[in-house]
Amino acid sequence: MREASHFLNSRSSLGVLLIAAVILVYALSLSGGVMRVNQASAACPDWPTCLGHWAPPAGEAALLAYLHRLLTVLTTAVTLGSAVLAWKQPETPRMVRGALVVAVLSLGVQILLGAAFTWDLAASIQRWASLLHQGLSALFLASVVLAVIAWTLAGRGLLVTGKPGYRTWFGRLSLIHVGLLFLLMASGSALRAGAGEALCSGWPLCSPLQWPLNQAQWLHLAHRLLVALVAGLQGVIFVQAWKKYRTHSGVFVATTLMCVLFCAQALLGARMVAGFPVYLLAVHQATAVAVWAAAVGQAALTGLLPRSEAEELAEAGALSGRRGLGKDLLALTKPIVVALLLVTTFAGMVIGARQWPDWHLVFWTLLAGFMAAGGSGALNQYIDRADDGKMQRTQRRPIPSGRLTPGEGLAFGLAMALGSFYLMLAFVNLLAALLSLAGIIYYVVVYSLLLKKTTVQNIVIGGGAGAIPPLVGWAAATGSLNVPSALLFAVVFLWTPPHFWALALVRRRDYARAGVPMLPVVRGEAETRRQIFLYTLQLVALTLLLPVIGLGGWVYVAGASLLGAWLLSAAWRVWRRGGNALAWKMYRYSSMYLAFLFMLLMADALILG
């Protein structure tokens, strides 16, 4: 995030091109992997045209091959442009120039190999050409990632001169890991091109009960042993990073992401052994590319920002006596907020299915939901760490108080958020996973980065993030969404502004000091109290209309009427009387109101069946 900001703020053409190159190279690698799995390259037997035409073809496989070639053209233009600019700008570091030269050469050979796939070659030659093509693709991505990292560090005056330094055991392990990971990727590609996945249908062994009996199965087992070796090495690197690099955000975050993505890829691979939907295959391929990019970035940062053994030991010693790490990490997740979100998630499951869902499904949905919401909360605290230090309510949070480093908060938040998506994808379903991911992006990017400090409507628009959990639960239980599920979203969406504005009334001076344009700060207390009542009125009206479309029966109507009268009474007192005491009661009452309302909906769904 900071790297992207550096490039854009510097208005450097080279920086912008390098960012575009990373995005395009990732997309190109991903599309190439999907093509190999689907064997789509044969759908366009000619080159550079596809089926004799420059226009997009009609068939799905041919269109995939066509899009891959289009991405190749765009990537080539951006990479060549980056290389030309790098050589024309005298201040460009030699490492950036060298990395871009390697990128251009590897891309050129890949293009030639891509053209060769359309020739009438022997099957063995085609397989070797495919393996070389994939190896060069990995080299190409690594070169561009290295160029971006070196350019970013140079812009901050952090890039070391001379050769990269891998003077410590941690640095050498990082370098060895990249080499072993490359071999792992190559062996996996060779197995797919030769023996085929069907020869090894068990996991972790080729058969659940007995060892492989033929040479191809032994090759599969050797590949899986290499997976175990890389996983073990990653485990050692991960532990060492959490001991010696917690104040070194770049290396620390890259290490954490690398390990989380690798575990996610292994999880998807295990789930795919017994059969899988097509989307799981695509995500598995995308994750493999991301693991390689993260590993290259981690090793590059370790070498370009070298530390001595003494420096590593000094950091490990300084942080070794810390207590309450688990408690502080839990505090990053905002557990009270998460608990309410999980209530609405579970309620969405019950209301959507109109019965008690399977407990396995409930477990994985709520676990992934906790990680999604908790990871979003941790990322929010990382983003707001400077503002949190100015506010009395938040200055004792783990990051502004110094109990956790910013790198720890960022790494933990990203790990939780990514892990939640993969768990939801592997054990729930695609729709629930995408909705959960949308909620994370909504809260972290749309609300925390774009809205919170730029508009008085931050809570109104940003409330959509907290309204997504009922949709996740509904999608987890039913595999689809409909109008009733959208109304559950609307209920939480309308509930959010009066709930948070009540808190903002109590903490308006905090928000003013931090420069957050909450409604009481911008438009005053009187207008805020009036808006609280108006939004509460709309919320209660909506909840009483839910039975019209089949959400809730007589139990719900009776309970919702009482709850609505209770909340309206609290909002009325806030509007007409004012005072922090009444606003604080409104804040607490509204939390209980939402939980009780969804419990009533669950009860009616079970009664009506």
Phi, psi angles (nearest 5°) of residue 488: -60, -40
Q: What's the rounded Cα separation, in Å, for the pair 539 and 201? A: 53
What's residue 11's pLDDT? 41
pLDDT tens digits, residue range 413-464?
999 999 999 999 999 999 999 999 999 999 999 999 999 988 999 999 988 9
For residue 324, the model assigns a pLDDT of 81
Residue 151 has pLDDT above 90, yes or no: no
User: Which amino acid is it at 497?
Assistant: P
The confidence score (pLDDT) of residue 122 equals: 53
Using the predicted structure, report yes or no on whether residue 164 has a pLDDT greater than 70: no
The pLDDT of residue 88 is 84
- Report the percent of the chain where pLDDT is more than 70: 87
- Contact in structure between 103 and 140 (CB atoms under 8 Å): yes
Q: 160-164, 306-310, 328-332, 570-574 — which is least confidently predicted?
A: 160-164
Residues in the chain: 609
- Distance between CA atoms of 511 and 502, rounded to whole angstroms? 13
Task: Convert 98-131 to b/e letters by CB count within 10 Å (16 or more is b).
Answer: ebbebbbebbeebbebbebbeeeeeeeebbebbb
| Cα 161 to Cα 301: distance, rounded to the nearest angstrom | 14
What is the reported pLDDT for 45? 74
The per-residue pLDDT for range 532-580, each reduced to its tens digit, is 999 999 999 999 999 988 888 888 999 999 999 999 999 999 999 888 8
- The pair phi, psi for residue 239, each rounded to 5°, is -65, -45
Mean pLDDT of 460-469: 92
Please state whether the peptide bond connecting residue 48 to the residue before it is cis, i.e. omega within 30 degrees of 0: yes
pLDDT band at 209 (very low <50, low <70, confident <90, very high): very low
Mean pLDDT over residues 464-482, rounded? 94
User: At a CB cut-off of 8 Å and minimum separation 6, what does 593 contact?
Assistant: 495, 563, 566, 567
CA 342, chain centre distance (Å): 20
Q: Give residues with Cβ within 8 angstroms of 292, minimum separation 6.
A: 138, 141, 142, 181, 182, 185
pLDDT band at residue 4, thresholds of 50, 70 and 90? very low
Is the preceding omega at residue 204 within 30 degrees of 0, hence cis?
A: yes
Angle (CA) 277 278 280, round 5°:
75
The answer to whether the CB of 64 falls within 8 A of the CB of 36 is no
For 74-128, write each residue's pLDDT tens digit: 988 998 988 888 888 887 888 888 899 999 998 888 888 777 666 665 555 666 6
More confident of the two residues 317 and 108: 108
What number is the average pLDDT over the span 360-388? 95
pTM across the whole model: 0.87
Position 10 scores a pLDDT of 39
pLDDT at 429: 92
- The pLDDT value recorded for residue 273 is 67
120: Cβ–Cβ under 8 A, 6 or more apart, which residues? none
Q: Could you write out the three-class secondary structure of 375-438?
A: HHHHHHHHHCHHHHCCCCCCCCCCCCCCCCCHHHHHHHHHHHHHHHHHHHHHHCCHHHHHHHHH
543: Cα within 13 Å, side-chain hemisphere? 30
CB-side neighbour CA atoms (13 Å) of 266: 20
**34-43, 132-141, 228-237: least confident range:** 34-43
Q: How many other β-carbons are positioned within 10 Å of the β-carbon of residue 423? A: 21
**Cα dihedral sign, 596-598-604-609:** negative
CA torsion sign for 419, 425, 428, 430 is positive
Average pLDDT, whole number, for the chain?
A: 85
Q: Is 410 a residue whose pLDDT tops 80?
A: yes
Tell which wins on pLDDT, 54 or 208: 54
Residue 162 token pair: 């001379």
Residues with Cβ within 8 Å of residue 544, at least 6 apart in sequence: 557, 560, 561, 564
pLDDT at 245: 86
Burial of 9 (0-12, 13-18, 19+ CB in 10 A): exposed
3-state DSSP assignment of residue 90 = coil
**What was the pLDDT predicted at 2?**
47
Question: Which pLDDT belongs to residue 52?
Answer: 75
Listed range (97-101, 304-308, 426-430, 472-476) with the worst mean pLDDT: 304-308
Question: Would you say residue 485 has pLDDT above 50?
Answer: yes
Instruction: Give the pLDDT of residue 308.
Output: 77
3-state secondary structure 323-340: CCHHHHHHHHCCHHHHHH
Q: Which residues contact 150 (CB under 8 A, 6 or more apart)?
A: 93, 95, 96, 99, 159, 300, 304
Q: 93: which residues sit within 8 A by CB, 6+ positions away?
A: 150, 151, 154, 159
- Paired residues of 53 in beta bridges: 50
Segment 276-280 mean pLDDT:
73
Q: Which position has the higher pLDDT, 375 or 64? A: 375
Nearest to 444 by CA among 372, 386, 497: 372
- Pair 567, 593: CB distance under 8 Å: yes
Going by pLDDT thresholds of 50, 70 and 90, the confidence category of residue 44 is confident
Terminal CA-CA length for the chain? 48
Decide if pLDDT at 182 tops 70.
yes
Instruction: Report helix, strand or coil for 562.
Output: helix
Mean pLDDT across 219-243: 85
User: In whole angstroms, what is the distance from residue 272 CA to residue 472 CA?
Assistant: 23
Range of 42-56, 181-195, 381-395, 562-576 with top mean pLDDT: 562-576
Considering only residues 62 and 2, tell me which one the structure prediction assigns the higher pLDDT: 62
| Model confidence band, residue 309 (pLDDT cutoffs 50, 70, 90) | confident
Range of weakest confidence among 18-32, 146-160, 281-295, 304-318: 304-318
Quote the DSSP letter at residue 481. Answer: -
Distance (Å, rounded) from C-alpha 268 to C-alpha 427?
10
Q: How high is the pLDDT of residue 123?
A: 56
306: pLDDT strictly greater than 90: no
**Half-sphere exposure in the Cβ direction for 303 (13 Å, CA):** 20
Identify the DSSP state of 248: -
Q: Is the pLDDT of residue 14 over 50?
A: yes
DSSP 8-state symbol, 447: I
CB contact at 8 A, 288 and 282:
no
The pLDDT tens digits for 336-355 are 999 999 999 999 999 999 89
Quick check: 496 pLDDT over 50? yes
Burial class (CB in 10 A: 0-12, 13-18, 19+), 483: exposed
Work out the pLDDT band at 213, boundaries 50, 70, 90.
Answer: low
